[in-house]
Each structure stands twice: as C-alpha cells, then as structure tokens.
Structure 1
C-alpha cells in the first residue's frame, strides 16, 4: 500500500516536470527559429561598421540612418510593384480557384482525379526550363518589364495550389446544408456565394495569404523578366550585394521593411488562417 501511495504522489510531480521540460524545449526551438529574424531587425539599426565586425556586437549605438538610406534608394516603387503583383495575382487566383474547386468537390465532375492531376502536373516542370519561351513570348508582346504580365505568370504558378487547397476546404462542407439551400430554391450562384463561401471563409483567407506570400517572395521570374519599371522587392534586395561587398546594415533594413507587409497581412488574418488550415487537416 505504501508503494502505491508513493507512486500516486510522484505522478503529479513527474507530470509537472515533463510539462515544464516540454514548455522550455518549445520556447528554445521557437527562439532558435526566430533568432535570425530578430538579429536581422537588430542589425538594421546598426551602422555598417558595427554590423560588419567579426565578433557580433550588441551594445552599440542604434539609429534610423539605414532605413532613411533604403527609402532614399527607391524602396517605395518596388514595394508598390510587389504589392500590385501579389494582390492582383491573388485576386485572380481566388476568382478562378473557387469555382474550379467547387466543381471538383461539392458539384463533382466525371473523374475529378484526372483534373486534379492535370492541375498539379503544371508544376512538374522547373520554371528555369520554361523561362526562354516565356521571355520570347513576352518580348514579342512587348510585355517584358510589365507588372501585369508578371502578375499573370504568378497566377499560373499559384492557381494549382489554390485549387487543391480550396477543394479540401469545400469537401468539409456538410452536404445537408447545400441540399437544404437547393430545396429552398437557391440557384448555383446563391448556393456558392451566400451558403458555401461564408462557411469556408477561413479557408479562403488561408489560401489567399499563402498565394500572396508566394507571389511576394518570388525571385526568379522577377529577376529575369523585370529591370526598372516592374522591379519587385526580392531582386531589388539582391542589388545590395555587389562587387564591393555585402552592406549588411542597409540590407537588413531593406529586408525588415520588405517583410513588414507580409507580417501585417499574417497578423490581420491570423484567426482565420488558423481556422482555415485546421479545416483542411486530415482527421
């Protein structure tokens, strides 16, 4: 009896220790993941001399000079281009992906697996393998260094992923709700816009945010197909590394400002994002 009592007394203590250890490990992993970002933001407030020291320095004079330098070197136009390409491509992707995914889930077509495989097969070829014909086509159309053309290319890149994501969200909508709407006389447009979309709104937000991030961070096409007028943020950031070396402080300042729109968008959509990703999870 005494042994059983001792075990019962040790059980809460062991559970508490394990919980504390798991919490510490979680915080340690989280800090390790976010430390490079925190260090980038901290470096953005340093001078180039302090940022380039062999031994990292912490207690240094901080200022906003690097941010002023970045803005003076043309940050605003490339941010506008990135926002234009990302928002325009995301809106077009959603406008195409929502009805396509609806037809593949709630109103299924014949052999939807073939259509899904076709969509995802468009991602099999590396972008580098198709860049020459794409460049020649855009050059013939006079659309090189054009933000609209770049946005349409981002639509082609993100559309298959968006269709797959939205299909998983639509598949979790109870069929009874749709049948009840049909009994009440709802047509296809009413059924989709007023009944189904409010239910999968978190999934739409998650899909939109992921497509926005992918378009915002795209580097290869933006580097090859733009030069001045349609230059976006990723290739513009690469301009801070040249033959004279890496300008770490100003590059950190530019990178900090470049990630702010994505961080703000993620923060505004965080509740719907979590719910949306949970909707598409496999139970």
Structure 2
C-alpha cells in the first residue's frame, strides 16, 4: 500500500522545489537586471536588485555596434540545420540498434559516447586545417557539419533509449501487414516516439545554440552566431558589464522563449517510458 503524503510534506517539497529553481534561474535574472542598469550601477557595492534607475541605453548601444539580426539568423540556421541532419542520421541508426541489434551494439554505443569524452581542443588543429583547405572557415555549412557530428552521439543515445521502450510486437505486426522498413519508420515508429523525438530535437537545438568553442575558433564575421556576438563584448569591453549583460540577454532570449513554451514536451520526452 502506498504511503500517504501529508499536506506539510507537500508544502515542504513545493517550497524546496521553488527555492532550487530560483537558485538555478538567479544568474539569468541578475544578468537581465544588469542589462537595464548603467555601468556605475552595475558595479555598485552593495548591489541594487530592483531599486535603480532603469535604462535601455545598453540595448541601443548593442544594436548600434553589432548586427544582432545577422548573428541571430546565423544561430537559427546553424542550430536548426545541424539538428535536422543529426536527427535524419540518428533515427535510422537508433532504430537499427534498438530493433535489429547485433552482439556489437553495446560496443558501438560505448564507442560513440567515448568520442564526447575527449576535449574539443584536442582536435582543433586538424579540424581547423581541414576547414582551411576545403574553404569551410567562417561558413555556415562548416559549422553545421561540425556541430552535427559533435552532437550526433548524444542524439543516437537518447533515441536508442526511447526506441527501446517501444514494444517490438507492434513493429512485427506492421511487418506482417506488409509494411516496408521506410513505412515502419515513418508511420509506426515515429508517431509512437514523438515525445522522445521532440525532447531530443529540443535538447540538440539548445546544445547547438549555446556552442561556443567551435563557433569562436572557426568563424570571424560572415557565419558568426550569437555566441561570437557575445564574445565581441567580453574581449574589448570586458569591464562594461551592463553592455555585456544586454548582449547576453539578447543572445539567450530566443532559446529561452523556445524552452519556456516547449517545457511540457521536454518533460514528457525525458520521462518517456519511465512509467509503465
């Protein structure tokens, strides 16, 4: 018999959850508030939380100095393109590993995951030289390619986990009805794994959107996404925290809104198969 949860316990758990959530969100909140301060107020000690002279001057300066829309469009194309290509590769790969496994499946999955254990800087020089020789430096196509390969192991692992939760009997029934492999993927497997596919897609978009190492080292201006847009304020104006906060707020705003509206899909996907 399940143990009954008391009202006091519920109140305590709710308060603890709100407290932890506030601690996690506080750095973002502080950055947003700092973006509306003057430079003097951003450095003031003790710092002011809400009671200060609010100003939008920092956003105006950022807009004058940088082409925000250009960097934002680059981020959308790079994050979206790398995610779609990774999903197109990972779905059939995860399907094969989940429903047509071999004795090497676990070894392949472990090998794929091990590629994420190596620091990116360890392969920076060869990748930079390859990009230089093939004319991919400062190009959207080059960044789409490298971010797709970088996030592909995580995408395959997540989809493999979700696909393993789907009963094989349903796919076997579809095969008995004459479904080809392509139809099985498109009309049977994909609709059943939508929560897992959605959460994997959203997580991959967030990872690609926030990627800074490759974007800073492989781009300069033409294909520079929002991570490079932020870095342009942290180097020459490293002590101007209000303007840096404004640039960072503009950079995270699109992905923050996306995460807010898709949080239900994220939760459903991340808990997919957890409850039978």
TM-score (norm 1): 0.89
- Of structures 1 and 2, the larger Rg is shown by 1
CA distance in 2, matches of 1:282, 1:103: 24
SS at match of 2:6: helix
Alignment partner, residue 258 of structure 1:
251
CA distance in 2, matches of 1:174, 1:205: 19
Q: Which runs of 5+ in 1 are unaligned?
A: 1-11
User: Would the alpha carbon gap of residues 222 and 200 (structure 1) be closer, same or farther in structure 2, given more than 3 Å must change?
Assistant: same
- Is 2:35 the partner of 1:44? yes
Which stretch of the first structure deviates more once superposed, 35-44 or 164-173? 35-44
Alignment partner, residue 241 of structure 2:
248
Q: Which runs of 5+ in 2 are unaligned?
A: none
The Cα offsets for residues 52-84 of structure 1, whole Å up to 9 and x where unpaired, read as 212212312213222222222222211111111
CA distance in 2, matches of 1:282, 1:157: 31
CA distance in 2, matches of 1:169, 1:244: 45
Which residue among 54, 60, 69 is the counterpart of 2:52?
A: 60
Report if the CA contact (8 A) 1:103-1:109 is conserved: no
Which runs of structure 2 are paired with 1:92-111 in the superposition (5 Å)? Answer: 92-111=85-104
CA distance in 2, matches of 1:271, 1:29: 19
Report if the CA contact (8 A) 1:89-1:215 is conserved: yes
CA distance in 1, matches of 2:96, 2:235: 50
CA distance in 2, matches of 1:148, 1:53: 44
Which residue among 211, 214, 234 is the counterpart of 1:218?
A: 211
Alignment partner, residue 223 of structure 2:
230
User: Would the alpha carbon gap of residues 258 and 244 (structure 1) be closer, same or farther in structure 2, given more than 3 Å must change?
Assistant: closer
Report if the CA contact (8 A) 1:90-1:155 is conserved: yes
Q: Could you tell me how far 1:243 is from its partner in structure 2?
A: 5.5
- The RMSD of aligned alpha carbons is 2.0
Which residue among 72, 79, 100 is the counterpart of 2:64?
A: 72
Which stretch of the first structure deviates more once superposed, 88-97 or 48-57? 48-57
Which runs of structure 2 are paired with 1:41-190 in the superposition (5 Å)? Answer: 41-57=32-48, 58-74=50-66, 75-190=68-183
CA distance in 2, matches of 1:196, 1:237: 40
Q: Could you tell me how far 1:34 is from its partner in structure 2?
A: 1.3
Which stretch of the first structure deviates more once superposed, 195-204 or 26-35? 26-35
CA distance in 1, matches of 2:141, 2:70: 15
Aligned residue pairs, count: 271
